[in-house]
Amino acid sequence: MNKVIFDTNIWVSYFIKGKFDELVNLVIDDEMIVYSSKELIEELTEVLSRKKFSKYLSLPINEYIDFHKELVTIINTKPNYKDSPDPKDNFLFDLAIQSASKYIVTGDKILLALSEVEKVRLISLSAFKQLF
């Protein structure tokens, strides 16, 4: 099983494009365990609530969050990591490290520039899809 974290921007991208089936197929066909946490769910809820995304979302926000929860394994993490270029992303590294995930899939160029942190590879969605 491939353990992976999808950054909030990946979830939002799939949601606004309505590509639920593609996301499910990616996770199930490639036997992935996608991890999430309370912090990721809170950030996802906050981002989806932004006015700029409302015109792209055809469902109530809670349905996107419910979909997210159905597809992931939620774990409780402890705040330990403090070296993210953006401190609000420290929770992603905590989630990846504490779940022993191999990848953080993100569209954030600043995070992608890190390449790898504590044996967790930071990778774009397109590069991730090529691997699987």
* pLDDT tens per residue across span 8-45: 999 999 999 999 999 999 999 889 999 999 999 999 99
Exposure string for 63-98, b = 16+ CB within 10 A, e = fewer: ebbebbeebbeeeebeeebeebeeeebbbbbbbbbb
pLDDT (average), residues 47-72: 96
CATH no. of 2-131: 3.40.50.1010
Tokens 């609530």, located at residue: 49
Residue corresponding to tokens 């600043």: 110
What per-residue confidence (pLDDT) applies to 118? 92
What pLDDT is recorded for position 1?
A: 86
Q: How confident is the model at residue 72 (pLDDT cuts 50, 70, 90)?
A: very high
- Per-residue pLDDT, 132: 85
* Per-domain residue ranges of the chain: 2-131
Cα 73 to Cα 39: distance, rounded to the nearest angstrom: 13
Percentage of the chain modeled with pLDDT above 70: 100
